[in-house]
Every structure is written in structure tokens, then in C-alpha cells.
Amino acid sequence: MSDEASPLGARKNRAELFSWANTLRSGYGLVGSITLAILVLAALFSPWLAPYDPHAISSSYLGPPSGEHLLGTDLVGHDLLSQLLHGARVTLLVAVTAAVISFGLGVLIGSLAGYFRGPVDAVLMKVTEFFQIIPSLVFALILVAMLGSHLWLVTIAIGITIWPQQARIVRSQFLTLREREFVQASRALGFSDRHIIFREIYPNALGPVLVQATLDIGIAILLETALSFLGLGDPNKASWGQMLFGAQEHLERAWWIALWPGVAIALTVLAVNFVGDALSEWFNSRSDVGRVSLQKRKNVASPPAAAPSRTGDGTALLDVQDLTVHLRRGAKVVRAVDRAEVKVRPGERVGLVGESGSGKSMFSRAVLQMLPSANVETFTGRIALDGIDLMRLNEADMRRVRFEDLSIVFQDAMTYLNPTMRVGKQITEAMAGLSATDRQERTRQILASVALPTTTRFMRRYPHELSGGMRQRVLIAMALASQPKLLIADEPTTALDVTVQAQVLRTLVAVHTKTDMAMLIITHDLAIVAEVCDRSFVMYGGQIVEEAAVSRLFSEPRHPYTRGLMASMPGKSDYRLGKRLTGSVVDLTDVPTGCRFAARCELAHDRCSTEPPWVRIGDEGVRCWLFADESGPIGRSTDKPADSKEVTTS
């Protein structure tokens, strides 16, 4: 908490620390690769590097490290350095060969199971289950004990005991990938199975399989070591494990016998695991898995300290000015929200409309100060709730705001409810400072207000036991529990059936009329805005492109995007104002200069290649060159009084 309020210098230090740790982390792979490369070189050149023949004996028995024998000698006078260097050869050979065997078997059996499915899959999975209940060390132990401890037998024994993990991975890749669009598409196009397997599935499965193959090398080294320790290694080959065999007896008198090979093994396996981890991270980063950190809401400094702490005009409950959010996604920067200005007055029901990908959800997250902090590149602007600048609050104060003044209802109730917590508890959890019985009472009231049963039995249910509409209402109930001043509803009904949608919307309106809270409804559905809201903002490409009273918005949409949205509404295709929207939402990682909608706009013209201004028209506004003209130096006659117009070029 304190570091949230700490001066900029401290922040910078911490940022540096992060970057150092980050480098180290990403450096793991490099460190591992270099270590392995050194090992392979040492193994390759061991005959030249080693000072002695690894099997030659000297008259120094159990000699400690000395000038003559840098790492000491073992019981019969073998030079440990020479054995260690030659051992690298044997150990790596065994490990890599075993990993290759495991790879081959795993890919073959996993593919068979994944491709044929059905009974073949069942039988093969039983086989892998067999290997899961007989630990691989035990199985390898028996194989080697019964068949002999020649190096190649040891290698094969290790290989055929560790493949099941690989097989499982390949199988699951098969099962998931074959349902994916591109494989379906290839199938529809009539490509052969062979083509699909080798061209589509294998290249995509490569990541996890390669990672597992790498890890298998480490597993094989550890297995060979354990087998040798138990006396089942090949005594003709001085592997590291073989060096450890017999060290037990001389542990105290000659610690060096056990130390070096153990360290070598640990370092090698560590290096292998580094590489495996790095590979896995690399493959994962390609598939772009984000991460949410709980702790920090901002990574970046607040706006200039000169900004007043009470902002905006006194009438607005929520006053967002100049809000900009840039996120990192891999190497690219996503301009999720761009200089957004939104005001919500007390008791008002305001809509925020846009297609998915327009940045509206990120906007709501930003207001709640709940951006995925690890990915935030820039987060600036002013967000004032009831006169308090949320950007300047520390985490604890922000939490209080969320607890008391601000609530949010999310889109997909199933995923936004904790599956392992009873719904009653999830609702009461959001209440502050009440006794247990009061909470119960209040919970019943809220449940009643959203038309849910108020029985104890209902409160003891888990989310998965409820219908979709009920879940959404639970979510609304949760949001209402804290009696917020502002309720943000982010696509509150999108996941529901049309009939249920209507019920939930009615619930929302009913709740609203009973209290004096304001609502910000974020949706892609203009119909909802029409039904519920007083006023609405339209968002496109991270920018607010239009602001208008709902009646006005529907009667006379200004921005071409708004018109497109209208035209796309079911049953409104004949709307005179324009055609349905075509094309797809602008790519936020690659925003064009000028108007972001220009590429999809029928009315685009040359001026659209420069950024359009925000044209304020009374209480309303639009971001489009078409309207800038109305007040521009060239001017055009309009029915609006000139003094109500204001052009802001930002």
C-alpha cells in the first residue's frame, strides 16, 4: 500500500528491479542453453580434455582434490575429473537416446490414440495408466535387473518407461486441435488425413511435445543415476550415476566422490529444465496468455500532480476525462482506450455502445482501476467518482470505493461467480459493516428486489445449480449489495436467452427506480440502450465517437458508425440512414492515422486521413469531420446556435 503513495523515484527503482528479474527470468533459457552447450562440448572433447584415461588407476586411493588430481580420486585411484568429463559423454548419450525413444513412442502412441479415438484410444490409455500406477523408476529397476545392466539396455529401459507423459500430451493435442477451425476447414476442403496430421496437427502440437522431450532428458538423467546408484548401471561405462555408486560407503572419508557427480547431474538437469521452461514460456507467449495481478492497479505514474483533486463539474457523479489506456500484448501495444470523456450524473442511466473490440470493456475496467497490471503500458487521464479522483487513490482507498460506491455487473455470470462458494455468501461478502443477521436480512431484501427466491435453501446453492438468468440476477444482487452510487453493467444480458434478457433488464430498471443510483450500461446492443438508458455514448476504436440523449440518438444518429450500428439492428435494415456495417473492427494494435472508422465509412473523404475533432453540440457531441464543418471557418448554415458549438482538437 505504502509504495502506491511513494514518490516517483521509488517507483523507478522498483521498475528497474523488475526489469532485472525479468531479464534473469528470460535469461534462464540462455543460461541453460549455454550450460548444455558447454557440457556437450566437454563430452565431445573429453578424450582431449581429460588428464587421464577414465579407467586408468593410480596409486592414490581416495585421494582428496590436489594438483595432480584436481577433483581427487576414488577408491581404486580413478581420476575423478577424467571420469566426470567422460561421464558427461555417457550420461548425455543415455539421456538423449532415452528421450528420443520416449519421444518416438509417445508421439506414435499418442497419435494413434488421438487419431483413432474410440476403443483404440481406450486401450492405449489403459496402457499409459498402467505406467502411471507403476512408477517409472520401479519399472526400469525391474527391467534392468531382469534383463541385464548393459548401457543400451539401461537406455531402452528408461526410454520405455517414461513415454506415457509424451503420449498423453500428443493425444490431447490431437483431440483439441482436431476440433479447431483450421483443421475443420482443411477437412472441409477435402485434404487427406495424412495431410491434416502432418501439415496441421503436428506443427501446432510441436510446442508442448518439444518441451516434454526436453524435460524427458532431465528425467532420463535422474533415472539413470538412480539405477546406477542401486548398482544396476553398466560398470564398463563411467557415467555420473556409476560414479555415485559406491560413493555412499565412502561418504565421510571421501566426500568428493559423491559431490562432483551429484553437482554435475544437478546442474545438467537444471540446465535442461531451464531450457524446457524457456521453451514452454516461449510457446505460451505465442499463444498469448495474459495474466492478472491482484496487487497493482497502475504501473505508471498518475497524471501531473498539478491536477486538482476534485475535478469536473459538480453535477457529474462519474467524470472521466482524457482517459487513455495502452496495453502490451506480446511485442505490440494495444491502444485500448484513447482520450475518452464520459460523464454520468447521479441517478442517470447511461449507455456505452460499441462492437466487441471497441474498447468499452477496457473502459469499465479502467474506471474500476482493475486493469491487468502486468500488461499496462500507459494509463492516464482523470476518473472522478463523486468528486474523488480515483487515479490518485491508493489500493486500500480504491477498495473502499469499490466496496461502497461502485459496483459492476459482468457479462458471463457463470464465469464471474466463484463456482465453489455458495451464492448467499457471495452476496453478503460484498456488504460492509453489518451484523450477521442484518446481512441475512439485507441479502433477502436484495434477492427479493431482483426477483430471486429468498429462502435459505436458495442462498446455500452453488452457481452451477442455477439457471443463466438466475445467475445474472445473483450477479446484479451482488452489485447491489453494497448500495453503490454507480452501477456499471458490462454486457449484462448478452449471454442470456432473449426472454431471459428482457426479465433481467426489467429487473435492472426496477432496481434503478427504487434507488437513486446511477447506471452505466455497457453493451453492443442498441436495443438495450433504447429500452433502458437516458443517454448514451458510442465507442469505436477506443474512442468515444458520439454522445447523445437516447431519443435523439435513435431519431437522428450523427456519426456514420452509429448509423451503421442502427442499420445493423435486427428489423432495421431498411433504415434510411445507411447500410449495415461491413468489415471488421479496427485493429487496436495498428491504428491508422486519421479517423479510425474511415476504412469502413461510406462517407469517408480526404479529410478523414487526419484525426477528426470532437465536435460538441450542446450537451451532445460527435467525433467526425462531417460535423466539424458546421462550426468551421468555412461554415455551413445550421439550425443550431453558434455559441453552443465548441470544437476541441486534442
Partner 1 sequence: MSERGQYLKYLLGTARFAVSRLLQSLGLLLGVVMVMFLLIRMAPGDPVQAMVGDFPVPDEYRDQVARQYRLNDSWLVQFMVYLGHVARGDLGYSYASHQSVGGLILERLPATLLLTAAGLISAAAMGIALGTWSAVSSRRSTRAVLDMFVLVGFSIPTFWLGQMLVLLFALRLGWLPSGGMSDARAESTGWASLLAAGPYLVLPAVALGIRELAATARIAKGATMGVLSEDYIVTARSKGLSSAATIRRHVIRNAALPTIASLGYRVGLALAGAVTIEVVFSWPGIGRLLYQAILARDNSLVVGVILVIAVLVIIANLVTELLYRALDPRIRGARHVR
Partner 2 sequence: MVTPAKQETPPAKRNHLAIAVLCAALLLAVTACQSGSSNGQGSAGSSANTLVVAINDDPTSLNPIVSSSPSTMTVSNVWSEGLWYLDGNYKPVPVLAKSWDVANDGKDVTIHLQEAATWQDGKPFTADDVVFTLTNIAKLSARAGSFLAVLESATAVDPQTVKLSLKKAYGPLFAVLDQRILPMLPKHALPEGDVTNSAFNQEPIGTGPFKVTKWNHGQSITAEANPSYWQGRPSIDKVVFKIIPDAASMTNAMRTGEIDVIGNAILNGNTSKTLKDAGVPVSRLPGTPAVKYLFPNTKNPILAKPEVRKALFTAIDRNAMIEAAFEGYAEPATGMIPAEYAALYDKGTDYGKIFSHSTKDAAKMLDDAGYPVKNGARFKLSLLYSPSTHGAESVAQIIKANLGAVNVTVDVQSLDQPTLLTKVYKEYKFDLAHIGYSTYEDPNLGIDRAYRCDDSGQPYQNPTGYCNAKLDQLLMQAAEHVETSKRQALYQQAQEIVTRDLPVFPLAMVPKYEAYSKRIQNVEAEFDFFGSGDPTWARARLK
**Which residues contribute to the site for partner 2 (CB under 8 A)?**
55-57, 59, 61, 75-78, 145, 148-149, 231-236, 245-246, 248-253
Closest contact distance (angstroms) between CB of 319 and partner 1 is 20
Distances (CA, A) of 211 to 199, 206, 277: 20, 8, 8
Nearer to partner 1 (CB atom), residue 425 or residue 506: 425
DSSP letters, 596-632, are TTGGG-TT--GGGGSPPPEEEETTEEEE-HHHHHHHS
Q: How far is the CB of 465 from partner 1 (least distance, A)?
A: 4
The nearer residue to partner 1, 129 or 438, going by C-beta atoms, is 129
Q: Which three cell numbers stand for residue 615?
A: 465536435
For residue 553, CA distances in Å to 351, 603, 624 come to 11, 19, 15
Which partner in partner 2, partner 1, none is near 229 (CB below 5 to 8 A by kind)? partner 1
Cα dihedral across residues 556, 560, 564, 567: positive or negative: positive
Instruction: Provide the minimum distance between the beta carbon of 231 and partner 2 in the complex, in angstroms, as a whole number.
Output: 4
Q: At what angle do helices 151-177 and 136-147 cross, to 10 degrees?
A: 140
* Min dist. Cβ of residue 326 to partner 1 (A): 20
Are the C-beta atoms of residues 80 and 243 closer than 8 Å to each other?
yes
Backbone angles phi, psi at 403, to 5 degrees: -65, -40
Which of partner 2, partner 1, none does residue 116 bind (CB under 5 to 8 Å by kind)? none
Which of 321, 354, 351 lies closest to 338, judged by CA? 321
Sorted by sequence, the CB contacts under 8 Å of residue 643 that are 6+ apart come out as: none
Query: What DSSP designation does 373 have?
Result: G
Minimum distance of partner 2 from residue 249's CB (angstroms): 5
Minimum CB separation from partner 1 for residue 18, in Å? 5
Angstrom distance (rounded) from CA 597 to CA 544? 12
Residue 19 grid coordinates? 526489469
User: Exposed e or buried b for every residue in 66-81, given b needs 16+ CB within 10 A?
Assistant: eeebebbbbeebbbbb
Structural contact between residues 645 and 613, judged by C-beta atoms closer than 8 angstroms: no
86 binds, among partner 2, partner 1, none (CB under 5 to 8 A by kind): none
Distances in Å between the Cα of 191 and the Cα atoms of 111, 171, 185 are: 18, 21, 9
Could you say which of partner 2, partner 1, none residue 629 binds, taking C-beta under 5 to 8 angstroms by partner kind? none
**Residue 18 interacting entry, from partner 1, partner 2, none, C-beta within 5 to 8 Å by type:** partner 1
Determine the Cα–Cα distance for residues 61 and 78; give it in Å rounded to an integer.
8
Nearer to partner 1, 400 or 579 (CB): 400
C-beta of 154 vs 409, nearer to partner 2: 154
Q: How far is the CB of 138 from partner 1 (least distance, A)?
A: 5
Of 30 and 153, the one with the shorter C-beta distance to partner 2 is 153
Please identify, using beta-carbon distances, which residue of 148 and 290 lies nearer to partner 2: 148
Q: How far apart are CA 3 and CA 11, in angstroms?
A: 8
Q: Which is nearer to partner 2, 237 or 444 (CB)?
A: 237
Smallest distance, Å, CB 250 to partner 2? 6
Query: In the bound complex, what is the minimum distance in angstroms from residue 328's beta carbon to partner 1?
Result: 15
CB of 16 to partner 1, least distance (A): 11
Q: Residue 20 binds which entry of partner 2, partner 1, none, with Cβ cut-offs from 5 to 8 Å by kind? A: partner 1
Residue 250 binding target from partner 1, partner 2, none, CB below 5 to 8 Å by type: partner 2
Dihedral over Cα of 343, 347, 352, 353: its sign: negative
Reading the block at residue 595, the C-alpha cell is: 479517423
Whole-number minimum distance, CB 45 to partner 2, in Å? 21
- Burial class of 48 by CB neighbour count within 10 A (0 to 12, 13 to 18, 19+): exposed
The position carrying cell 431471459 is: 500
**Which CB sits closer to partner 2, 253 or 286?**
253
Of partner 1, partner 2, none, which one sits near residue 143, judging by CB under 5 to 8 A according to partner kind? partner 1
Nearest to 136 by CA among 171, 101, 177, 92: 101
Q: For residues 135 and 635, which CB has a smaller minimum distance to partner 1 in the complex?
A: 135
CA distance 124 to 118: 10
Residue 77 binding target from partner 2, partner 1, none, CB below 5 to 8 Å by type: partner 2
For partner 1, which is the closer residue by CB, 246 or 632? 246
Query: Which option in partner 2, partner 1, none does residue 465 bind, with CB closer than 5 to 8 A by kind?
Result: partner 1
Q: Which is nearer to partner 1, 223 or 553 (CB)?
A: 223
Partner in contact with 121, chosen from partner 1, partner 2, none, beta carbon below 5 to 8 Å by kind = none
Total Cβ atoms within 10 A of residue 17: 10
Of 62 and 210, which has the nearer Cβ to partner 2?
62
> 100: burial class by Cβ within 10 Å (0-12, 13-18, 19+)?
middle
Q: Which does 56 bind (CB under 5 to 8 A by kind): partner 1, partner 2, none?
A: partner 2
Residue 55 binds: one of partner 2, partner 1, none (C-beta under 5 to 8 A by kind): partner 2
Nearer to partner 2, 64 or 231 (CB): 231
Q: How far apart are CA 255 and CA 257, in angstroms?
A: 5
Q: How far is the CB of 100 from partner 1 (least distance, A)?
A: 21
